Structure 1
Amino acid sequence: MSEQATNRDLTGFHGIIPKTMRGKRLRHVADTMCQMFCGWRLIGSKPNLVELGSGTLELDAMTGQCLFQGKTIGQLTIAEEIRAWLEQDLATNKIPIAALTGAHLTVKLSFSVVPWNEPAKEIFYSDGKPIRTEKMNRCIVECRSNVTTDEAVYRSKLTEVQEWPLGWPVDTSPSPG
């Protein structure tokens, strides 16, 4: 290697990281977007999701914009969480956000109300006290993500069933609609 060679000369993408490493990282990004939506960070958005009801939610992970049933709604807390994580993760891994042509999450939500599940493993709290209701919200969450570049599309999917007490957590955020 000549002394004048730069990192740009040695890598496959804008002098940042080799294409193979970038591809693995972007597959990880697609996986993580689904996992974040189904994880603990969703708690703050659950009251908004119950209010929206069953249907298809679309999140633009690059902007945080949200659509429900094809119509723009206010930004959900989970959308901002995913957007901020994406921005930080790409920066940490030296992938410019401009390298992406898109990063989207499509989530099919199917809500129902079911009796309290006695063997529930989780304990739900409100104001530091455990709560229990006779009925629970149940939501089948079917996530599909895609992260796109000029060269490839990285996809992931995750399906979960989540249950939580009616009225939990207490909603303190503005309505999404």
Structure 2
Amino acid sequence: MRRKRLNHYADVVCKMFVGWRMGDDMEALSDLPDGTISINLLTGDAVHSEVGLLDLHIAKEIQAWLQQQGAKEGVDIEKLKSATLEVDVDTNKVATNKKKVLLFSFSCRSNLKTDTATYQGALTDEYHWYTRIIT
């Protein structure tokens, strides 16, 4: 496996969760209690520590991106033993009217494991504001 590419992938998946195409899932995340979201990057499955199984668009997006990049760059993603992204979600750092607006604090940790090494990434985003959709 290509070490530099796997290091890159570990960093990018964290960045993707906190910003890239995240808008599709913000309303769903707004309804969740604070907790940890665990994503299996090989299957696209997401589980919340308090709620259980989630249907998150971003989980499938990251899975597809990882598969596509691996194929494009000659990295056999199928040979990974595991690939996970854990995200601590906290909406209580700043008091808001949660029916209208939230401040998300994301703390992401990724792990891509091969037979011989683990590649890790981490990112914290403290300023991700979201204005709720009023229906």
Q: Assess same fold via TM > 0.5.
A: yes
Runs of 4+ residues over 6 Å off in structure 1: none
Q: Residue in 2 aligned with 1:147?
A: 112
Q: Residue in 2 aligned with 1:79?
A: 59
Give the aligned length: 132
> 1:74, CA displacement in angstroms?
3.3
Q: Residue in 2 aligned with 1:110?
A: 90
- Gaps in structure 2 of 5+ consecutive residues: none
> 1:167, CA displacement in angstroms?
2.4
Residues 1:167 and 1:114: Cα distance change in structure 2 (over 3 Å): farther
> 1:75, CA displacement in angstroms?
2.5
- Distance in 1 separating the partners of 2:77 and 2:20: 26
Identity %: 35
- Distance in 2 separating the partners of 1:115 and 1:70: 22
Contact 2:35 2:50 (8 Å CA) reproduced:
no
Is 1:58 paired with 2:23?
Answer: no
Is 1:30 paired with 2:17?
Answer: no
**TM-score normalised according to structure 2 size:** 0.88
Superposition CA RMSD, Å: 2.2
Residues 1:114 and 1:165: Cα distance change in structure 2 (over 3 Å): farther
Deviations 1:61-119 (A, max 9, x none): 11001111076413300000100000001101111122211110000000136459xxx
Contact 1:64 1:75 (8 Å CA) reproduced:
no
